Amino acid sequence: MTMRTPITVHVNDAIGLIRPELHGHFLEHLGTATYGGIWVGRTSLIPNIDGLRASAVEFLRALAVPVLRWPGGCFADAYHWRDGIGPPDQRPHTVNHTWGGTIEDNGFGTHEFMHLCSLIGARPYVAANMGSGSPSEVRDWVEYCNLPGGSTLAALRIAHGAREPFGVRYWGIGNESWACGGNMTPEEYAAHYARFSTFVPTCGGTTPYLIAVGPNNNDTDWTRRFFTALATGRMFTPRIHGFAMHYYSWGRCAPTRYTPDAIRSQFASFDGMEHAIIEQRAYLNMFAERAGIPPIDLLVDEWGTWDLSEQETEDAHGLFWQQNTLRDAVAAALGLNLFHRQADKLGMCNLAQIVNVLHASLLTSGEACLRTPTYHTLMLMQEHRNRTAVRIASPLSPSRELSVSASRDDRTVVVTCANPDPEVTRTIRMQLAGASIGAVTGEEIADADPNACNTVADPGRIVPHAVTPVVAGDSIVATMPPLSILHLRITIP
């Protein structure tokens, strides 16, 4: 089936700046995301940079990862940072009770994470242990990371090889406190947040950006009750800079066994996420105004596809290892497109996760490290960063029929279209309102099989290919195959 679709890009109708942080990532101690994925160890025969998988570092550096969240996730509320510092052969072996009871030698800790961030150019975002930790443990971690010198903790960091402070700005106070982070009520979490956040210090000129646990999906009851409790009975409103919701796109099939109906069902979640962002943003604005405090950023610091797991795959590759397919590439475009369309409402969004687990940019198997279809989507769409998002007019549902976002600078308009339907071909006719069309170049990600993927045997099956859209008068005409992405670069004379 082929359908024709008009699109108008309103070049002078600005939404807001597309912050690079909207393209953030997440790394947890889960399955082989960290151990065996990004971290292979200093003595590994796999090429590495001080224990970090060299090929992964190379690919992530090219991806220009803007921010990386660590060590969890649920694992964060079980992680004690002192276990992961000092000489590697003297670090304790601990049990990851959060994810499968695996034994960790703590070879990947604070210094290794900061080194990874430095190598790939990412800003570190540390999720601190509130569930099983203490305010003093979090305070000490901040001081260890950020104080230039003069204290015993700063001297300890220097003795461990980091003379300059890490300057970590983003600090999460707990994670999913409504579930794995303590099964708390909003009122209980508000009390813990107020206490923990009080003791996070400014060190070395780095003012902490404090992130509170937001809702699961669009749980407005959690948001309302949390902010009500935070503002009730206290002489001062605790510092809060970001509020982080989690919103996964759950699937009902194993990764390479999706039917058209199952794809449509999973993609419908993106309409829900866009509605959640709009509604949660309104709550944050209302609370900040009532409390007389600066606006609070809305974050989506865990998002992405979550498919059914297969035991055979997990036995071979680790917990929640998920084969990344063309469907995931399109899902990534659906997510980033909606973040661009709501750029004025968001401060950060982190795709879960960066290697091997869930909606990953990279997959590893032994020595091999593959760039997934999602990786190639992110590479194309990084062109939107630090540009002004502009409004789109289209008659179609953005997650079920045709998803579009556009951004501009003084010379070019960049447009990303995602056709999420696995059975419908779309011929789009795009016009620019407020500018004329100059040269047009583009790339496409597509395949005849919606379950197609990159593998060790065929690592380049799903990659962008150049396309040449037709410029017909005042319109750009292009045909999008089912389940495909079209990325256009338009010169505006």
- DSSP class per residue in 68-105: EEES-SGGGGG--GGGG-S-GGGSPPEEETTTTTEEE-
What's residue 1's pLDDT?
62
Residue 102's alpha-carbon distances to 93, 97, 422, in angstroms, are 10, 7, 39
What's residue 237's pLDDT?
86
What's residue 273's pLDDT?
97
Mean pLDDT to the nearest integer, 412-429:
96
Instruction: State how far Cα 451 lies from the chain centre.
Output: 23
Among 224, 256, 258, 259, residue whose Cα is nearest residue 243? 224
Sign of the Cα pseudo-torsion (245, 249, 251, 254, in order) = negative
Rounded distance between C-alpha atoms, residue 325 and residue 30, angstroms: 21
What's residue 159's pLDDT?
98
What's residue 254's pLDDT?
96
Residues of the chain above pLDDT 70, percent: 99
Residue type, 422: P
Rounded distance between C-alpha atoms, residue 206 and residue 166, angstroms: 9
Tokens of 324: 């990344």
- Checking if the pLDDT of 396 tops 80, the result is no
Rounded distance between C-alpha atoms, residue 84 and residue 60, angstroms: 23
Mean pLDDT to the nearest integer, 388-404:
85
Mean pLDDT to the nearest integer, 242-263:
97
138 pLDDT band, cuts 50/70/90, is very high
- Checking if the pLDDT of 68 tops 70, the result is yes
Among 256, 248, 269, 374, residue whose Cα is nearest residue 309? 256
What's residue 172's pLDDT?
98
197 pLDDT band, cuts 50/70/90, is very high
Domains of the chain listed by start with CATH number: 2-9+391-491 (2.60.40.1180), 19-387 (3.20.20.80)
Query: How confident is the prediction for the chain on average, in pLDDT?
Result: 96
Whether the model clears a pTM of 0.75, i.e. scores above it, the answer is yes
Q: What is the pLDDT of residues 277-319, one digit of tens each?
A: 999 999 999 988 888 888 999 999 999 999 999 999 999 999 9
What's residue 472's pLDDT?
86
Rounded distance between C-alpha atoms, residue 333 and residue 327, angstroms: 10
What's residue 293's pLDDT?
84
- Checking if the pLDDT of 399 tops 70, the result is no
2 pLDDT band, cuts 50/70/90, is low
Mean pLDDT to the nearest integer, 385-405:
87
Q: Which residues contact 217 (CB under 8 A, 6 or more apart)?
A: 245, 246, 247, 272, 273, 276
Q: Which residues contact 402 (CB under 8 A, 6 or more apart)?
A: 5, 7, 394, 396, 417, 418, 419, 420, 426, 428
- Checking if the pLDDT of 397 tops 70, the result is no
Contact 283, 296 (CB under 8 A): no
Rounded distance between C-alpha atoms, residue 251 and residue 263, angstroms: 8
DSSP three-state, residue 389 = strand
DSSP three-state, residue 468 = coil
Contacts 24+ apart (CB under 8 A), 82-88: 83/109, 84/108, 84/109, 84/110, 84/112, 85/109, 85/110, 85/111, 85/144, 85/156, 85/157, 85/160, 86/160, 88/42
Q: What is the pLDDT of residues 69-105, one digit of tens each?
A: 999 999 999 999 999 999 999 999 999 999 999 999 9
- Checking if the pLDDT of 395 tops 80, the result is no
What's residue 473's pLDDT?
84
Mean pLDDT to the nearest integer, 375-403:
90
Q: Tell me whether strands 465-467 and 440-445 are parallel, antiparallel or unpaired.
A: antiparallel
Q: Tell me whether strands 412-419 and 484-491 are parallel, antiparallel or unpaired.
A: antiparallel
Rounded distance between C-alpha atoms, residue 284 and residue 290, angstroms: 10
493 pLDDT band, cuts 50/70/90, is confident
Mean pLDDT to the nearest integer, 140-166:
98
What's residue 125's pLDDT?
98
Q: What is the pLDDT of residues 332-385, one digit of tens each?
A: 999 999 999 999 999 999 999 999 999 999 999 999 999 999 999 999 999 999
Q: What is the pLDDT of residues 204-218, one digit of tens each?
A: 999 999 999 999 999
Catalytic residue numbers, as ranges:
176, 302
Residues of the chain above pLDDT 90, percent: 93
Residue type, 21: E
Rounded distance between C-alpha atoms, residue 135 and residue 137, angstroms: 5
